[in-house]
Amino acid sequence: MQFITAVLDANVLYPLSLRDYLLNLAVEGLYDPIWTPEIHDEWIRNLLKNRPDLKRKQLEATRKAMDKAFPGANVTNVQSIANRLALPDPDDRHVLAAAIKAGAEVIVTANLRDFPEVMLAQHNIRAEHPDSFILSCIERDHQKSVRAFEEQVAVLRNPTMTVDEVLKSMEKNRIN
């Protein structure tokens, strides 16, 4: 099995069900996750803007738990690399810079148009929609992928959710 290092863009960390499944896949050893402080800031900022019922303290606790669970995932000091990059959205340069610095093969993002293939290919990096990335994890190791999903469902407590409810939540977030 080929090991993959993947940068998780803010838009795949924003939806809880998707974030949990991606992180559980990483716990199962299907890939090595990467993010930056800026990626954390973006998904937290957007969640707080769109979900006034959430509190910054809750989301910061999630951020700290992610960083603790994956101590090598938080790539810092990428600005000097980012300043030399060109992307359609300059605000995404730090994502590509993190991929370059970490030696990642993949950027997992729902905004593929922001990461044109021609610009990423120069760095031997590709962008993948989370659907495709998850499917590739399942294809690499079906058993571990199922175990990751079962673990995700098993730990849900507030509120508890059934397998079908978690799947519907993922579908709602355009993850099929």
Q: What pLDDT score does 134 carry? A: 92
The tally of domains found in the chain comes to: 1
What does the block give as tokens for 2? 């080929």
pTM: 0.89
Residue 176 maps to a domain? no
Angle between helices 16-27 and 142-155 (to 10 degrees): 130
Q: Which residues of the chain have pLDDT under 70?
A: 1-2, 153, 155-176
Q: For position 35, which CATH number holds?
A: 3.40.50.1010
Shortest CA distance to 43 belongs to which of 28, 69, 23, 26? 23
The answer as to whether 111 is a domain residue is yes
Range of the domain at 51: 5-170
Residue 156 located in a structural domain? yes
pLDDT value of position 33 = 98
- Does 163 map to a domain? yes
Residue 175 lies in a domain: no
pLDDT at 176: 41
Q: Is residue 27 part of a domain?
A: yes
